[in-house]
Structure 1
Amino acid sequence: MLDIGEVAERTGLAPSALRFYEKKGLLESSGRNGLRRTYEPEVLHRLELINCARRAGFSIAEISRFLVATPDDTVLRAKMAEKAKVLDEDIARLQRMRDSLEHAATCTHEPLVECPDFKRTLAP
C-alpha cells in the first residue's frame, strides 16, 4: 500500500490533485492509514494514463468516461477515434516544428525564419 504522500512523490502530483482526481471518480483510495489516504500500487499506472491523457488535451470528463468505457460504448469509441485523428494531426505539426528547429539550430541564413529550408519543413 502507498500513502498519499508516497503517490504524490512518485508521480510529481500534489496531494490535492490526487484528492481532486478521487473526488472526480478517476481514482479510488483503498483506505486510510491514520488520517492519510492509501492506494494500491496500481494507482501509479492509472495516474500515468491520466497524466498522458491530460497532456494530450483530454478533459477530466473525457478521461472519466474513457476509464469506464466498454466495447459496447459505440458513441465513446467514435469520439476516441476522432480524438486519435486530432492527435495524429498534432503529432505531424509538432514533428514539422521539431524538424524546423533542428534545421534552424545549424542554419546560417539571415534571418533564420526566412530560410527556404526552414519554411519548407514547416509546410504541411
Structure 2
Amino acid sequence: MKLVDIGVLSKTSGVPTSTLRYYEELGLLQSVGRNGLRRQYSEDALLQLALISLGKAAGFSLEEINGMFDKDRKPDLPRPTLHQRADELDRQIRRMKTLSNLLRHVAECPAPSHLSCARFRKLLRVACPTVPLGDALRRAAIGGK
C-alpha cells in the first residue's frame, strides 16, 4: 500500500490541509500513520475525497456523507436516499429552468408592461406556486382596477 503525505494529498485533490484535518476529526477520512509530524494517507483517500465532494455537491451534509461509509471507510451508499436526493435535484432543476425562462422573457418581452403579458403572468405563477397571485395579476393586467 502506497502512502501519500498530507501535503501531496492536498495538492493532488485541491482540498486544503486544514480541511483534510477537519475531515479526519469528523471521521470522514482516516490517516494511516505519520512520517514525523506529517499525516500519511492511503491512496484510497483520493476516492474518499471525490465521494465527499460529490456528496457535498448533491447537497448532503458532512454528517450524512459520513454515514455513507462503512467502518473501513469504504462506500456504503444508501440507494433509497440517493434516489430521494436525485428527485429533489430534479425538482430544483425544473424550478431553476422556469426561473431562467422567466428572466429571459422579461429581458426580451416587447410588451409595454410585463404585467399585461399573459406569458409573463403564467411563468410568474409557475415560478412562485405558493404565492396566491390570481387576483393581483388580474388587477395588474387591467391597470390596477
TM-score w.r.t. the length of structure 2 is 0.60
- For structure 2, the 5+ residue unaligned runs are 128-145
Question: How much does 1:110 deviate?
Answer: 8.5
Question: What is the rounded CA distance, in whole Å, between the counterparts of 2:111 and 2:44 in structure 1?
Answer: 53
Partner of residue 59, structure 1: 61
Question: What is the rounded CA distance, in whole Å, between the counterparts of 1:25 and 1:64 in structure 2?
Answer: 7
Question: How much does 1:70 deviate?
Answer: 5.2
RMSD: 3.5
- 2:31 alignment partner, SS class: coil
Partner of residue 17, structure 2: 15
Partner of residue 37, structure 2: 35
Q: Decide whether the 8 Å contact of 2:6 with 2:40 is kept in 1.
A: yes
Which structure has more relative contact order (CA 8 Å, sep 6+)? It is: 1
- 1:80 alignment partner, SS class: helix
Within 5 Å, which residues of 2 pair with 1:1-124?
Answer: 1-68=3-70, 77-96=79-98, 123=126
Identity of aligned residues (%): 36
Give the structure with higher Rg (CA): 2
Give the letter for the 2:64 counterpart: E
Go from structure 1 to structure 2 and tell me whether the alpha carbon gap of 1:4 and 1:97 turns closer, same or farther (over 3 Å shift): farther
Question: How much does 1:46 deviate?
Answer: 1.1
Equivalent pairs counted in the alignment come to 119
TM-score w.r.t. the length of structure 1 is 0.68
- 2:93 alignment partner, SS class: helix
Question: What is the rounded CA distance, in whole Å, between the counterparts of 1:44 and 1:98 in structure 2?
Answer: 36
- For structure 1, the 5+ residue unaligned runs are none
Go from structure 1 to structure 2 and tell me whether the alpha carbon gap of 1:98 and 1:16 turns closer, same or farther (over 3 Å shift): same
Go from structure 1 to structure 2 and tell me whether the alpha carbon gap of 1:67 and 1:100 turns closer, same or farther (over 3 Å shift): farther
- 2:20 alignment partner, SS class: helix
